[in-house]
Amino acid sequence: MMRVAVTDDWQEVSRSCADWVPLQSKAEVVWFHEPFDSEDAAAAALASFDAIIPLRDRTKFSTSLLRKLPRLKLIAQTGPLALHIDLDTCTKQGIVCCASQATNANLAATPELTLGLMLAAAHHIAQGHANMKAGRWQQGIPFGEPLAGRTLGVIGLGNIGKKLVNYGKALGMKVIAWSPNLTPERAAEAGAAFVTKAQLLSEADVVSMHLVHTDRTVGTLGAADLALMKPGSLLVNTARGPLIDEIALIEALKSGRITAALDVYDREPLPADHPFRVLPNVVLTPHIGFVKRDMFAAFYQQSVENVLAVIAGDPQRVMNPDVLMRKAS
| Residues assigned a catalytic role | 240, 268, 287
CB 128 within 8 A of CB 141: yes
Cα 281 to Cα 256: distance, rounded to the nearest angstrom = 7
**Strand ranges in the chain using DSSP code E only, listed in sequence order:** 2-6, 27-31, 51-53, 74-76, 96-98, 151-155, 174-178, 193-194, 206-209, 234-237, 259-262, 282-284
Report how far residue 84's alpha carbon sits from residue 315's, in angstroms, rounded to the nearest whole number: 21
Question: Which residues have a Cβ under 8 Å from the Cβ of 201 and sit 6 or more positions away?
Answer: 153, 207, 221, 225, 226, 228, 229
| 102-to-79, 180, 184, 208, 209 alpha-carbon distances in Å | 6, 25, 29, 23, 20
CB environment 36-47: b (16+ within 10 A), e (fewer): beeeeebbeebe
- Residue 133's φ and ψ, nearest 5 degrees, are -65, -25
Of the candidates 325, 321, 324, 317, which has an alpha carbon nearest to the alpha carbon of residue 98? Answer: 317
Q: What is the CA radius of gyration of the chain?
A: 22
> Rounded to whole angstroms, how far apart are CA atoms 98 and 43?
20
DSSP-assigned letter for residue 148: T
d(CA 97, CA 276): 35
Q: From CA 302, how far away is CA 239, in angstroms rounded?
A: 24
**Which residues lie across from 4 on neighbouring strands?**
29, 51
Nearest to 153 by CA among 169, 176, 171, 170: 176
